[in-house]
Amino acid sequence: MNTLLVNQSLRPFNTFGIDATTHYFMEVDSVAALQNALQLPEIQGLPLLVLGGGSNLLLTRNFEGFALKISLKGIELLHEDEQCYYVRAGAGENWHGFVQHCIANGWAGVENLSLIPGTVGAAPMQNIGAYGVELKDVFHELQALAIADGSLHTFSHSDCRFGYRESVFKHEAKGKYIITSVTFRLRKVPQINVSYGAIRQTLEAMGISSPTIADVSRAVIHIRQSKLPDPAQLGNAGSFFKNPEIPRVQYEELKTRYPELPAYPTDHPDRMKIAAGWLIEQCGWKGKRVGNTGAHKDQALVLVNYGGASGAEIWQLAQQIQASVAERFGVQLQPEVNVV
């Protein structure tokens, strides 16, 4: 920890299990160590790769730069008001571990986001979401360190400019800041959300009619485990592509040709979100294997490494899938995964 390493394998630090290397590597566990790392003379002028849980990353080559693993930990109840608890978590905390900690303490709002891989610090960057809840729904503020000078900055909800799998950190602030902690606004009285996906049916199958936040979490975990492969057993980065948002006019035209097309409303009345997994499956990719890669047999949206695949091979498969969906449906899929 906090030691500069040379020619480090990144295989343990990405859930695809890609055996790429980085020229320099350091794991930091404090803001001070992070500030010191960015001032090291050896790394000046080199490309920087910031690592969280490595669950949203595809390494297509060796990284000729400085890979920095963020391991800032700690969960703290800062204060509370009549309705909410304000809870700060270090950027290096495991996301699912944080969710379970909140549930154990009766802090409500993140239960629908159970079992999402990755770290707390990565969560705001792409506004993670699942089963009718997005990170922006529970976000209060975050602290981030400016890479240029090591200064600390506070980002409010509006500063982050959250969108569907979007934030300012994927656009204007990309490559300029490293998130060090996130503060959440969590409810004292839960607002149970079981309207999305198969949560209600799963709870009914479990014999639960008045679910607690722990019950909702257990249902989400059951659903995710039933259709998503465990990265520890089969290399993957979860959903590889975003669900595309398309103009309502285009959606209506597709709906006439494909009445079973799954779709969801967005924040914009003239746009609809359609299911990328369904599009991929209709193009024949579900369960199809290409060399040591493929689309998973239970969820076409998940690309997998069957063992020994390179990142370049997985990226080539992703591009083939993009091309086939564009040709058949006229829809361009965008990666949710960060391709390096």
Alpha-carbon Rg for the chain, nearest whole angstrom, is 20
Q: What are phi and psi of 324, to 5 degrees?
A: -70, -40
Coil vs helix vs strand at 113: helix
> What pLDDT, on a 0 to 100 scale, did the predictor assign at position 255?
94
CATH topology match: 5-70 vs 235-339: no
> What pLDDT, on a 0 to 100 scale, did the predictor assign at position 142?
98
Tallying the residues shown for the chain, one arrives at 340
DSSP tag of 261? -
Q: Which two tokens stand for residue 210?
A: 């008045």
> What pLDDT, on a 0 to 100 scale, did the predictor assign at position 165?
87
Does domain 75-187 sit in CATH 3.30.465.10?
A: yes
Q: Report which of 236, 317, 249 is spatially closest to residue 283, judged by C-alpha positions.
A: 317
> What pLDDT, on a 0 to 100 scale, did the predictor assign at position 12?
95
For the chain, residues with pLDDT lower than 50 are none
Q: CATH code for 235-339?
A: 3.90.78.10
Which residue ranges make up each domain of the chain? 5-70, 75-187, 235-339
What DSSP string runs through 21-39? Answer: EEEEEEEE-SHHHHHHHHT
Q: Are 293 and 317 in contact (CB under 8 A)?
A: yes
H helices then E strands: how many in the chain? 8, 20
The amino acid occupying position 40 is L
Q: What is the largest CA-CA distance in the chain?
A: 61
> What pLDDT, on a 0 to 100 scale, did the predictor assign at position 267?
82
> What pLDDT, on a 0 to 100 scale, did the predictor assign at position 277?
96
Q: Which option is the CATH number for 5-70: 3.30.43.10, 2.40.30.40, 3.40.50.300, 3.40.50.720?
A: 3.30.43.10
Catalytic sites, residue numbers: 165, 239, 336
> What pLDDT, on a 0 to 100 scale, did the predictor assign at position 196?
80
- Tens of pLDDT, residue by residue over 111-135, are 999 999 999 999 999 999 999 899 9
Q: What are phi and psi of 214, to 5 degrees?
A: -65, -40
Place of tokens 């309207």: 195
